[in-house]
């Protein structure tokens, strides 16, 4: 793990493998420890994989003021500058996909290919699922790995792969987010809306989504595919919000082909 100062705050990052840079951005409340080991291994097999803790999470600094998706996108670009990276493939998952969109829209020359997983161009653009409404109503203010895992995977999947779920829960227990960070990330995600700017994305784009995702229902992915030029949508029938890890073998092969 390394620390670099960008945009006036300390950002923690790590690199794996060699080759053309691929920056993977995690979702709300999470940090780089959350990435599934098989996903990290696959993404770093032929590329220089760069992971980071978004501001407010992991080992990165917690700013005293509020911030938004644009600020976190600038952090990624600042990290690229600090590492001497002029262009990279950008992969964003969930809120990380919002950050990735912002980079591709506002800094198009920095993005070679764009990968958006389990994300949205605006949380209010699609009617939320009943389960999401219930979750929002009862969401605790204290972080719970079990609550987050219930968002990512079905109960059946969690029973069948109890050992992997236990490992994931342990990873999530490292550097848990504060109640304030959870609130700031939630508000940043709520305010983000890129629909009117999606046409400005010039990078070839791969959109990955689970058909059983109740956090961002499948129409969110369809909307992205409709408005992003030169985009391809892959929908996985049996996966939910955690499609990247749940279907990691299939998904990683598609990403490998996509980025060449």
The CATH number of whichever domain residue 255 belongs to comes to 3.40.50.1820
Instruction: Give the count of domains, the chain.
Output: 1
Which pLDDT value is given to residue 237? 96
d(CA 65, CA 67): 7
Q: What is the mean pLDDT of residues 80-91?
A: 98
Domain containing 129 equals: 2-259
- Band (pLDDT 50/70/90 cuts) for residue 153 is very high
Comparing CA positions, the residue from 8, 71, 95, 81 lying closest to residue 50 is: 81
Task: Indicate if the pLDDT at residue 5 is higher than 70.
Answer: yes
Instruction: Work out the burial of residue 22: count CB atoms within 10 Å of its CB; fewer than 13 is exposed, 13-18 middle, 19 or more buried.
Output: buried
Instruction: Report the chain's C-alpha Rg in angstroms.
Output: 17
d(CA 115, CA 40): 15
Secondary structure letter of residue 199 according to DSSP: G
Which pLDDT value is given to residue 1? 87
d(CA 119, CA 30): 15
| φ and ψ at residue 92, rounded to 5 degrees | -130, 135
For residues 62 and 56, the answer to whether their CB atoms sit within 8 Å is yes
């Amino acid at each position: 793990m390394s620390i670099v100062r960008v945009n006036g705050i300390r950002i923690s990052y790590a690199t794996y493998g060699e080759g053309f840079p691929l920056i993977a951005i995690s979702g709300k409340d999470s940090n780089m420890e959350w990435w599934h080991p098989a996903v990290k291994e696959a993404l770093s097999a032929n590329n220089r994989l760069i992971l980071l803790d978004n501001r407010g999470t992991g080992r990165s600094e917690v700013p005293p003021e509020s911030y938004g998706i644009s600020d976190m996108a600038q952090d990624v670009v600042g990290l690229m500058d600090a590492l001497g990276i002029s262009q990279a493939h950008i992969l964003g998952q969930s809120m990380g996909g919002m950050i990735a969109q912002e980079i591709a829209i506002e800094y198009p020359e920095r993005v070679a290919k764009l990968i958006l997983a389990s994300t949205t161009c605006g949380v209010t653009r699609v009617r939320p699922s009943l389960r999401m409404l219930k979750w929002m109503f009862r969401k605790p203010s204290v972080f719970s790995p079990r609550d987050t895992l219930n968002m990512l995977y079905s109960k059946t999947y969690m029973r069948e792969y109890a050992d992997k779920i236990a490992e994931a829960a342990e990873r999530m227990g490292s550097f848990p987010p504060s109640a304030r960070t959870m609130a700031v990330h939630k508000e940043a995600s709520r305010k983000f809306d890129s629909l009117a700017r999606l046409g400005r994305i010039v990078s070839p784009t791969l959109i990955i989504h689970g058909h059983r995702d109740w956090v961002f229902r499948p129409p969110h992915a369809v909307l992205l595919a409709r408005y992003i030029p030169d985009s391809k949508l892959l929908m996985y029938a049996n996966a939910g919000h955690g499609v990247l890890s749940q279907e990691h073998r299939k998904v990683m092969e598609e990403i490998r082909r996509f980025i060449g």
